[in-house]
């Protein structure tokens, strides 16, 4: 069986926009992703080294901002678990479920693995500084016209375009 074609991007965009609007209407906040990764990281460090988290500034500030009993009792954590399931169901529906490592035609598997890891790492750091990633800062920020969110959005795309040429061998 062949993979199904992707949805029309404008239709997907309108649906995503309406979902974001509904999210803001119901919860008063936007969508997100990197916040959940932060919560998972904090939870992991907390369970491995509770003494360390109790005495380190970052985790203390996190605790002050998030009053819930556990870092995993977090809106974005529940949302991201949903994302995993939603994407998985969509993958089944459209026959796209298989283990695969994707890379540019001139790239090698090793290169791709290293670049993916570094890329993830940069996002981990950048999303903390930007107080959100493409979903939490750029997209949701645009929906409410937040200055910070829109600046971050332009910086993400600007940063990517600025270095795209130098790393073109990874992709084309």
Map the footprint of other proteins across residues 36-75, applying CB under 8 A.
Answer: 37-38, 40-42, 44-45, 56-59, 65, 73, 75
Pattern of binders to other proteins over 77-116, x per CB under 8 A?
Answer: -xxxxxxxxxxxxxx--x-xxxxxxxxx-------xx-xx
Do the beta carbons of residue 102 and residue 74 sit within 8 Å? Answer: no
If residue 22 lies in a helix (H) or strand (E), which one and from where to where? helix 9-27
Cβ nearer to other proteins, comparing 50 with 167: 167
Instruction: Tell the smallest beta-carbon distance from residue 157 to other proteins (Å).
Output: 7
Q: What CA–CA distance (Å, rounded) separates 161 from 159?
A: 6
CB nearer to other proteins: pick between 54 and 87:
87
Q: Scan residues 136-155 and list those touching other proteins (CB under 8 A).
A: 136-155
**CA dihedral for 161, 164, 166, 172, sign (positive or negative):** negative
- Per rule CB under 8 A, is residue 15 in the interface with other proteins? yes
CA distance to 13, 96, 143, per residue, from 70 (Å): 34, 35, 29
């Amino acid at each position: 069986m062949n993979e199904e074609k992707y949805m029309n991007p404008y239709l997907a965009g309108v649906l995503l926009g309406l979902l974001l609007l509904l999210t803001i209407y119901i919860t008063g906040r936007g969508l997100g992703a990197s916040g959940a990764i932060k919560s998972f990281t904090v939870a992991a460090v907390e369970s491995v080294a509770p003494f360390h988290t109790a005495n380190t500034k970052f985790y203390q500030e996190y605790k002050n901002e998030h009053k819930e009993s556990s870092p995993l009792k977090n809106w974005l954590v529940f949302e991201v678990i949903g994302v995993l399931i939603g994407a998985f169901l969509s993958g089944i529906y459209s026959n796209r479920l298989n283990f695969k490592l994707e890379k540019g035609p001139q790239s090698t598997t090793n290169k791709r693995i290293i670049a993916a890891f570094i890329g993830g790492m940069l996002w981990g750091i950048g999303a903390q500084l930007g107080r959100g990633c493409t979903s939490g800062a750029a997209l949701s920020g645009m929906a409410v016209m937040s200055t910070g969110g829109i600046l971050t959005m332009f910086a993400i795309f600007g940063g990517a375009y600025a270095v795209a040429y130098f790393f073109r061998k990874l992709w084309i």
